[in-house]
Amino acid sequence: MKTKYIKSLILMMSVFLASSCKDLTEVNKNPNGVDPTTANPNLVLSTVLTETGKQFVSLNYDQIIGGVMQHTQKDGWSGEHNDYDWGQTNSWSGWYAILTNNQYVYDRSVELNYPLQQGVALVMKSMIFGLITDLWGNAPYSAALKASEGGSANTFPAFDNQEDIYTGILADLDKANTLLSKNKAEYNSTIVIPDVYYAGDPAKWRKLANSLALRYYMRISDKKPDVAKAGIEKIVGNATQYPIMNVAADDATMGFAGNSSADSWPANTRDDASESNYRRIKMCNTLVKAMLAVNDPRLGVWANKVQIPLVIDPTLPAKSDVIKNGKRYLSPDKVAGIPIDTNQNYVGLPVSLLSGASYNMSPTAAQGADNPHVSWLNTMYKAPKGDLLKARLMSAAEVHFILAEAAQKGWAAGDAETHYKAAIQASFTAWGLASSYAAYVAQPSVAYNKTQKQIIEQKWIASWTAASEAWFDYKRTGYPVLQTGPQGKRTVLPVRFYYMLDERNLNKANADDAINKLESTTYSAADGKNSAWSKPWIIQGAGKPW
């Protein structure tokens, strides 16, 4: 019985191999097929980059993580998004399929002596393996992409310890930094056409490599503080040898072509004429209230104002409920005992609500219905493409927040307040609000207060549509402080994905070994150790996030 790793190999080969037929004496080759032993790796690199961008957006926007980190909530078909009702179905097979293709890019580039493609492939390998281990914990790594070599150890790969995966990632990123250190004209190959992130600019890929290293050094900062401190200080202390992202123009982003559902922003309304997927994603009141409290103008970029605000008017006769001048006026007795949000501009759905579709006196309780009393996502999210509709894989804002936190710890990473402000400025610039930055940071409620809590809370806001990084920070720091709602599967937030059922069946011995290395908690409950509330190595023994 073959595992998903064999399937991933077959998927990769299908990109190149056309069908053939045999007779007794010869094999006929399709002249339109591409031989993987002679192909240009750029043919596959474009797929690696676009598939990564698409899966990243889906994970963080219309699927699970936006709900976990309370950026959004759904008012229909909401169990996974709002309530962490995941089961053992969240599969990593799509990520490993990308990694298999990426390994081809790397191996073929080694054969051709293309250092540029080698460096890019190592960056992508590091980013994706980092995401896998952050989401699940221990995972196949050192033998994960060797199914073609045969043997049981490669067909049914062991799960590497999370610590070893981070160590391998950091080593690969250091190697990538060297491979990407030449000027563009010095390379014997180009990736201008397939590179949908940076249009073939090796200098920006090099910045991404070193910025990812900062991400993973900070990730291990509680478990291996000496290693993290030395790594971050090494990078910050030698900007010539280790350039990093500094401004929004350095961000690793991918726009959408918008030609079909396969290359468009997810949940757009051109490909979903009923608008149901767009309509059922609403702003979460956790994020809305946090942004309103600091007069954050990014809220107006990400969300629409409520169509019809509610007004409770004690001067009205009993049982009054009338719409006039674009507002709905209610007498106090009409809302007695009913949670009401009367903000006149932005209203988010509470977390894990029993009946989100009927919240805030909605005139209909139908799932994904036209509730005019809560904030929908900005109308731009209806479109298949747009200037702001991008996969945001890493940003200069994240880098500066990392360095602000490092400096706040007392490490030699620059001035914490300077990085904190630069992070916010980079985020504002990325969202087209550069002119609003100065007024925002001048507010006493935003001014740097020298705490990790403030840094992580601002980083959480800035992670809109890229909330997985906020989840990983939350697990490490406990910030922002988030509460579940009445329908939440547990009374605290989860900290990992379950190992999926097919992996446990097909690669049982190794999956069971990985499960046994998880730390059970009082919230693991009936799940056993393979629980979304069991702790992987990175947060074991830390007492965080709960």
What average pLDDT does this structure show over 382-397? 98
Residues 128 and 62 placed together within one structural domain of the fold: yes
Q: Is residue 402 part of a domain?
A: no
H helices present in 296-346, as ranges: 298-302
Name the pLDDT band for 147 (thresholds 50, 70, 90).
confident
Residues 205 and 351 placed together within one structural domain of the fold: no
Please determine, for residue 194, whether its predicted confidence score (pLDDT) is greater than 50: yes
Task: Decide: pTM greater than 0.75.
Answer: yes
pLDDT tens string 502-519: 999 999 999 999 999 999
Q: Is residue 31 part of a domain?
A: yes
pLDDT tens string 90-133: 999 999 999 999 999 999 999 999 999 999 999 999 999 999 99
Both tokens of 342, joined, read: 């009367």
Residues 168 and 41 placed together within one structural domain of the fold: yes
Name the pLDDT band for 296 (thresholds 50, 70, 90).
very high
Residue finishing a domain among 379, 409, 438:
379
In this structure, are residues 66 and 81 in contact, taking their beta carbons and an 8 Å threshold?
A: yes
Residue finishing a domain among 360, 379, 398:
379
Residue type (1 letter), 400: H
Length, in residues, of the chain: 546
Cα–Cα distance for residue pair 49/195, rounded to 1 Å: 7
Higher pLDDT, 21 or 390: 390
pLDDT tens string 447-463: 999 999 999 999 999 99
Quote the Cα angle for 183-187-193, to 5°. 100
Q: What is the CA radius of gyration of the chain?
A: 25
Cα–Cα distance for residue pair 401/125, rounded to 1 Å: 24
Residue type (1 letter), 107: D
- pLDDT recorded at residue 6: 37
Cα–Cα distance for residue pair 492/533, rounded to 1 Å: 8
Peptide bond into 317 cis (omega under 30): no
Return the SS3 of 21: strand
Residues 238 and 355 placed together within one structural domain of the fold: no
Rounded to 10°, the helix 93-112/115-136 angle is 160
Residues 235 and 296 placed together within one structural domain of the fold: no
**Around Cβ 234, how many Cβ atoms within 10 Å?**
16
**Cβ-proximal residues to 403 (8 Å cutoff; 6+ apart), any chain:** 214, 232, 236, 413, 414, 419
Residues 60 and 206 placed together within one structural domain of the fold: yes
Please determine, for residue 17, whether its predicted confidence score (pLDDT) is greater than 70: no
Quote the Cα angle for 450-437-303, to 5°. 105
Cα–Cα distance for residue pair 143/157, rounded to 1 Å: 5
Please determine, for residue 25, whether its predicted confidence score (pLDDT) is greater than 70: no
Name the pLDDT band for 47 (thresholds 50, 70, 90).
very high
Cα–Cα distance for residue pair 342/50, rounded to 1 Å: 42
Q: Is residue 296 part of a domain?
A: yes
Q: Is residue 407 part of a domain?
A: no
- pLDDT recorded at residue 26: 44
Cα–Cα distance for residue pair 451/408, rounded to 1 Å: 7
- pLDDT recorded at residue 526: 86
pLDDT tens string 469-491: 999 999 999 999 999 999 999 99
Q: Is residue 8 part of a domain?
A: yes
Please determine, for residue 286, whether its predicted confidence score (pLDDT) is greater than 90: yes
Both tokens of 79, joined, read: 């169990």
- pLDDT recorded at residue 146: 87
Return the SS3 of 480: coil
Q: Is residue 501 part of a domain?
A: no
Both tokens of 218, joined, read: 């900070």
Please determine, for residue 27, whether its predicted confidence score (pLDDT) is greater than 50: no
Name the pLDDT band for 14 (thresholds 50, 70, 90).
very low
State the average pLDDT for the chain: 93
**Cβ-proximal residues to 336 (8 Å cutoff; 6+ apart), any chain:** none
Do the strands 310-312 and 327-330 form a parallel or antiparallel pair, or are they unpaired? parallel
Structural domain tally of the chain? 2
- pLDDT recorded at residue 32: 59
Residues 169 and 218 placed together within one structural domain of the fold: yes
Cα–Cα distance for residue pair 278/263, rounded to 1 Å: 17
Q: Which of 20-24, 45-49, 67-71, 376-380 has the lowest mean pLDDT?
A: 20-24
Q: Is residue 511 part of a domain?
A: no
Residue finishing a domain among 321, 351, 379:
379
Both tokens of 301, joined, read: 């970029």
- pLDDT recorded at residue 180: 98
Q: Is residue 169 part of a domain?
A: yes
**Around Cβ 130, how many Cβ atoms within 10 Å?**
20
- pLDDT recorded at residue 30: 57
**Look-up of token digits 């006493």:** 444
- pLDDT recorded at residue 368: 57
- Read off the CATH number of the domain in which 54 is found: 1.25.40.390
Residues 69 and 159 placed together within one structural domain of the fold: yes
Which of these, 425, 366, 374, lies nearest to 401 by C-alpha position?
A: 425
- pLDDT recorded at residue 366: 66
* Own/partner long-range contacts of 510-517 (Cβ < 8 Å, ≥24 apart): 510/140, 510/156, 510/157, 510/158, 510/159, 511/159, 513/158, 513/159, 514/137, 514/138, 514/139, 514/159, 517/137, 517/138, 517/161
Q: Which helix (H) or strand (E) holds 72?
A: strand 72-74
Residues 132 and 12 placed together within one structural domain of the fold: yes
Residues 313 and 204 placed together within one structural domain of the fold: no
- pLDDT recorded at residue 24: 32
Residues 201 and 344 placed together within one structural domain of the fold: no
CA distances to 23, 271, 318, 428 from 379, in Å: 59, 15, 37, 19
- pLDDT recorded at residue 525: 87
**Look-up of token digits 């503080």:** 225
**Cβ-proximal residues to 275 (8 Å cutoff; 6+ apart), any chain:** 269, 382
In this structure, are residues 358 and 403 in contact, taking their beta carbons and an 8 Å threshold?
A: no
- pLDDT recorded at residue 23: 40
| Phi and psi torsions of 94, nearest 5° | -65, -40
Phi-psi category of residue 361: left, alpha or beta, with phi > 0 → left and psi -120 to 50 → alpha: left
470-508 residues labelled b (16+ CB within 10 A) or e (exposed) = bbbbbbbbbbbebebbebbbbebbbbbbbbbeebbebbe
Tell me which residue range forms the domain holding 156.
4-75+83-244
- pLDDT recorded at residue 3: 40
Which of these, 159, 168, 195, 379, lies nearest to 279 by C-alpha position?
A: 379
- pLDDT recorded at residue 5: 39
Name the pLDDT band for 21 (thresholds 50, 70, 90).
very low
Residues 87 and 145 placed together within one structural domain of the fold: yes
What average pLDDT does this structure show over 185-202? 98
Cα–Cα distance for residue pair 149/253, rounded to 1 Å: 34
State what percent of residues in the chain have pLDDT above 90.
Answer: 87
Please determine, for residue 15, whether its predicted confidence score (pLDDT) is greater than 50: no
H helices present in 192-319, as ranges: 202-219, 225-236, 276-279, 285-293, 298-302
